Every structure is written in structure tokens, then in C-alpha cells.
Amino acid sequence: MISQTMAVCQQAVDQTGGKSVEIASVGFSSQGFLTIPIDKRGELIRPLISWQDVRPQSDMPDLLRRVSADDYCKITGVPFIANSINTKIYWMRKHEPELYERTDRFVQHQGMILKSFGAEDYFTDLPCMSFYGVWNVHQSCWSSQLLDRFEISQEQLDLPTQPGTQVGEIPPSVAEKTGF
């Protein structure tokens, strides 16, 4: 995913026809979300899990004992279904405990790409925070109630960030691969 993103950036720069272009900023946009378990070095623990993957469906009765569907919806603003990241974390903890134990963080692809391009940490913009399933949309912050009930710490997740915020600078190694 990262190497392909860098290659596309290089292609875009190449299409300028060799003109010297000053690039002031780079932003990324995406559709949907991924659950990406990584270790302390930022390496993948297992293949990415798509938002379309509803493997936690069989675990929903257990999850609904932790919080009612109504309370969940009141906090998150979305229905409690098996595609949010919190359900994937639960599923991984229950069905892949050895991989879960090796996982330091669960990031989205936005955070992974930004970090690979020089961001100081793993960031995701506020509109995408609800994909985690533990975001309080009314207070625009993590829901401590949901974090506790799903046994997730906010340190395991991307850092919430206003859209358009500069989160880092492109290092020479990335500039070489992208043409930036």
C-alpha cells in the first residue's frame, strides 16, 4: 500500500513534464477504513482488515452485553454493527490472541500513510474517528465509557486531528521515492 502510494506520487510529479514545481503541502484522502494492527516498530502483525469485513458478527452478542445498541448509538452517532474497528479488535483478541498480544496499535490507513510520509505519529482526521467505534461524536473525543467496556486504550489508536493539519515533513528518503 505504501510503495504504491509513493509510486503514484512519483507518476504525478513526472506528469509535470520535468518542470520545476514547488510543492507546499501534500494531503491524502480515502474511502472507507481499514483496521491495521502494528507492532512497536510500525510493522504489520497480520493482513489488513477491511471495513467491509464483518467477521465479528458472531461475537456481537458478547459485545452487546458490554453496551446496549441504543447507548452505543447515542455516544457514537452510528449503529452498533460488526464493521467498526472496535469489533475487529475484540475479534482479534478472542480469535487471534497470539497476534493481538504482539500488537501495539490499531491504526487506519490514513495514519499509516501519513506516518510513512514523515508524520510524527499515526494521525487520523476527526471525520474518520467514528470508524473506531469508541468516539464520542457529541464531545469530539474518545468515549472513556466505550474504551473501558471494549478494553481498548486510546494509546492503541490513531491520534485525532483536525482535517488539514500539518502532521510532519517529508524526509529526504520519501522525497527520493516520490519526487517531492
Q: Considering its fold, how many domains does the chain have in total?
A: 1
Vertex 51 angle, CA 163 and 6, to 5°: 55
Residue 150 lies in a domain: yes
Residue 95 lies in a domain: yes
Using a 10 angstrom Cβ sphere, with 0-12 exposed, 13-18 middle and 19 or more buried, the burial of residue 132 is: buried
Residue 111 lies in a domain: yes
Q: What DSSP character marks residue 158?
A: P
Stretch (H or E) spanning 34: strand 34-38
**Using 50, 70 and 90 to split pLDDT, how confident is the model at 49?**
very high
69: domain CATH number is: 3.30.420.40
Residue 19 lies in a domain: no
Residue 154: closest CA among 122, 178, 116: 122
| pLDDT tens-digit series, residues 75-94 | 999 999 999 999 999 999 99
Q: Kindly state the average pLDDT of the residues 17-24.
A: 72
**Using 50, 70 and 90 to split pLDDT, how confident is the model at 96?**
very high
What lies within 8 Å, CB to CB, of 152 at 6+ separation is 86, 89, 134
What lies within 8 Å, CB to CB, of 170 at 6+ separation is 26, 117, 118, 178, 180
- Whole-prediction pTM: 0.90
Residue 176 lies in a domain: no
Residue 9 lies in a domain: no
Vertex 132 angle, CA 147 and 8, to 5°: 145
| Structural domain of 133 | 33-171
The reported pLDDT for the residue numbered 21 is 67
The reported pLDDT for the residue numbered 108 is 94
Residue 10 lies in a domain: no
Residue 139 lies in a domain: yes
Q: How far apart are CA 109 and CA 42, in angstroms?
A: 12
Q: Kindly state the average pLDDT of the residues 84-107.
A: 98
Q: Which residue has the higher pLDDT, 164 or 22?
A: 164
Q: How far apart are CA 154 and CA 34, in angstroms?
A: 17
Cell output for 157: 489508536
Asked whether 65 and 57 are in contact (CB, 8 A), the reply is: no
